[in-house]
Amino acid sequence: MNLRIDIRNARVIDPATGRDETVPLFIADGRIAAIGSAPDGFRPDRTIDAKGLVACPGLVDLSARLREPGFEYRATLESEMQAAVAGGVTSLACPPDTDPPLDEPGLVEMLKRRAESLRQARVYPLGALTLGLKGQKIAEMGELAEAGCIGFFQADKPLTDLNVLLQAMRYAATFGHAVWLRPQDSHLAHGGVAHEGEVSTRLGLPAIPEVAETVALHAILELAETTGARVHLARLSTARGVALVAAAKARGLAVTCDVGIHHLHLCDRDAGDFNANMNLVPPLRSPRDRDALRRALADGIIDAVCSDHTPVDDDAKQVPFGEAEPGATGLELLLPLVLEWGAKMKLPLAATLAAVTSRPAAVLGIEAGSLVAGSAADVCLFDPERPWIVSTAALASQGRNSPFLGLELAGRVTTTIVGGRIVYAA
């Protein structure tokens, strides 16, 4: 049921419009009815006293693996959708690397239907760029788009044949579809599990050099220029990569990019004791890279930050570092970690929140990430000061592995509203 909700005393922050003031917020019919003064005859079904809380647009996450279909033993749609709203995430894009991969319209429709039936966050599937993510044949982008895919992604699967990539980008450009790519040359990455540098040398871990990213970026950017395809670069990890994207943007290329939240805070040194929770894709790189990513996100060279939520079961992490399944839980850490990044960069709260609201919404091209009268009432209420300790018990996600386990973070979501429905209340 769509409630009429009156949110009082919240500090309303809308990065899209620059609003940052303590005003009442009124919700009716699933939309923002008004901000400031109540619409005529507004009678709330529910009043929320949000004193001390921030009300911002619901978070938009560019990458959250929901693990269905195929990996239900790692997580289920139910658990991960709950994790999303517990983290204030109201819209999320999910990569196609399920089992089977999202390369058929039927699968996409089923996923969308299942997600909608749960009535929690909004799910935007990314279709497979190539059939079976095998990097050989272009997937049916038209059919998949009709079924609800908002872009086409190769996920972490290699695409070694540049001719396939060229044709996929040409085909996508014909119809205006967005092509998502994680820039990594699989030959140069060759079995690596850690950033090539002092730490991988000391620990004797097979390494992924920086050039694995930059060589791939050079190729992708050249092909983007040639084809005119709209390209989104997923999970940048190096300073040199940031510089290449900045130059490409400066010369007018239609590229966007994101960074995973873990990469804004951690570097290769953090894996110093073979902590398998630090085994991430791409690998955690040098402190210099991490600092460059932080700055680039603040400067807008990197468009958005995502949770890169990847639930991994304990058994897949209780093994030696190099054998561990990469990935970490992220949906519920996205907000506190982005707040910490903003504080480190001395950014105003509105600018900080833009990185997880209006900016990712613009990448996806969806109506989200803003709190203006008439927009969908996707709202996140959170206490920016409230400390909490990251523990397995504190997480709704079935993925309990995080490099931040045991650490205290500030910022906890209290209420999440999607389309005017309260879907989470702490």
Q: Binding marks (x or -) toward another protein, 220..259, rule CB under 8 A?
A: ----------------------------------------
Which member of 18, 100, 272, 387 binds another protein (CB under 8 A)? 272
Number of helices (H), then strands (E), belonging to the chain: the values are: 13, 21
Stretch that binds another protein, among 1-9, 10-18, 31-39, 197-205 (CB under 8 A): 197-205
Contact yes or no for 91/370 (Cβ under 8 A): no
Residue 426 binds another protein (CB under 8 A)? no
Q: How many residues at the interface with another protein, by CB under 8 A?
A: 24
Residue 314 binds another protein (CB under 8 A)? no
Least Cβ distance, residue 322 to another protein (angstroms): 5
The residues that are catalytic are: 308
* φ, ψ for residue 373, nearest 5 deg: -55, 130
What are the residues whose beta carbons fall under 8 Å from the beta carbon of 68, sequence distance 6 or more?
75, 76, 77, 98, 111, 114
- By beta-carbon proximity to another protein, the closer residue of 86 and 324 is 324
Residue 198 binds another protein (CB under 8 A)? yes
Residue 200 binds another protein (CB under 8 A)? yes
Least Cβ distance, residue 286 to another protein (angstroms): 10
Residue 203 binds another protein (CB under 8 A)? yes
Angle formed at CA 61 by CA 60 and CA 67, multiple of 5 degrees: 135
Contact yes or no for 378/419 (Cβ under 8 A): yes
Residue 288 binds another protein (CB under 8 A)? no
**3-state secondary structure (DSSP) of residue 409:** strand
What are the residues whose beta carbons fall under 8 Å from the beta carbon of 379, sequence distance 6 or more?
7, 25, 27, 55, 56, 57, 58, 90, 371, 415, 416, 417
- By beta-carbon proximity to another protein, the closer residue of 179 and 207 is 207
Q: Which residue from 83, 47, 48, 88 is spatially nearest to 65, judged by alpha carbons?
A: 83
- Identify whether 206 is preceded by a cis peptide bond (ω within 30 of 0): no
Residue 340 binds another protein (CB under 8 A)? no
- By beta-carbon proximity to another protein, the closer residue of 3 and 203 is 203
Q: What is the DSSP code (8-state) at residue 130?
A: B
364, containing H or E segment: helix 358-364
Residue 205 binds another protein (CB under 8 A)? yes
The total number of residues shown for the chain amounts to 426
Which member of 320, 365, 374, 387 binds another protein (CB under 8 A)? 320
Residue 322 binds another protein (CB under 8 A)? yes
Which member of 315, 367, 385, 408 binds another protein (CB under 8 A)? 315
Residues binding another protein (CB under 8 A):
196-198, 200-207, 209, 272-276, 315, 318-323
